[in-house]
Amino acid sequence: MKEILISIRRAPYQTFAAFLVLFFTLFLSVVFFVSLSFLYGTLGYLETRPQVTVYFQTKIPEKDIFQIRNELISSDKVLSIKYVSKNEAYTIYKNLNKDNPLLLEMVSADILPPSLEIYAKKPLFLPEIAEYLKKQSNVDEVQFQKDIVDQLLTLTGILRKTTIVFFGFLLLMSIVVLTTTTLFKIALKKDEIELLQLIGASGWYIKKPFIMESIFLGFLASTTSFFIIMLVILYLNPFLTSYLKGIQSLTLNIMSFQISVWPLNIKFLAITYAVSSIFGIIIAMAGSFLATQKYLKH
């Protein structure tokens, strides 16, 4: 650690430039990571909601609803269907408006419509299911969420592509700047390095101080960027809580792992910090390794 601090004091401006490049790269990377996590979590949440909900007129016989349900099931395009009776709808209504007695007095189970909550096997089946339901008699309303899902998928795709391009540019710029600053530091220690080579020092022994300094800078930059972003998220937490009111949790699925994104929790924050730190250290090490390798070859 003492050698790292001495090296930083010898070239403070170059070290600060390397730190700033790493900081902005990691800051934007964490912002994109958190944004994509929330978007994918929202998509996952919507997939667990009824994709098509059909409300029937209150006078419809229950057997007619079951007939429509059975026809949909036999089409092999539906994953599951949930029937919500008038009484169940009234129970849901009471739970939603338990703090408003006036609204409870105005509504009874008789005036609430029965409904079917339908989950399709594939998104492409949704328009066909919705059209089929609209043609049925005694149907009052068909709620179709395909537009919302499509918009989120489009937004996620655009953000992912933008992230890859922008991230690639930042990564390249970071490595170039880090390589250049490390070469400058090597030039300051040229005589010392030549002496080490004369007495038979290995390549790793010469590279080690520069790589250790880069690891320190990567860790420092990732920690700084993470805590600044966490302060921003904590500041926005009341807004997020209000905006996501009614959503109990958002979950991100990565291969066989499930990560809870919302509400904010220690596990998600720890994973974000770990990913940021590892990525920052790898970038910094890559820049130092390329610079020292290039110098030693010449």
How far is 133 from 130, CA to CA, in rounded Å?
5
The 10s digit of each residue's pLDDT in 206-246 is 778 778 888 888 889 899 999 999 899 888 888 888 877 76
pTM of the model: 0.65
Q: What does the block give as tokens for 70?
A: 């059975």
Name, in order, each residue with C-beta under 8 angstroms of 25's C-beta and a sequence gap of 6 or more.
170, 171, 173, 174, 221, 280, 283
Domain boundaries, the chain: 2-47+149-297, 52-144
DSSP 124: G
| Most confident of the ranges 62-76, 116-130, 137-151, 190-204 | 62-76
The 10s digit of each residue's pLDDT in 66-88 is 999 999 999 888 888 999 988 88
The pLDDT score that the predictor gives to residue 146 is 66
The pLDDT score that the predictor gives to residue 223 is 92
The pLDDT score that the predictor gives to residue 11 is 67
Higher pLDDT, 63 or 191: 63
**Fold exhibited by the domain 52-144:** Alpha-Beta Plaits (3.30.70)
How far is 69 from 15, CA to CA, in rounded Å?
68
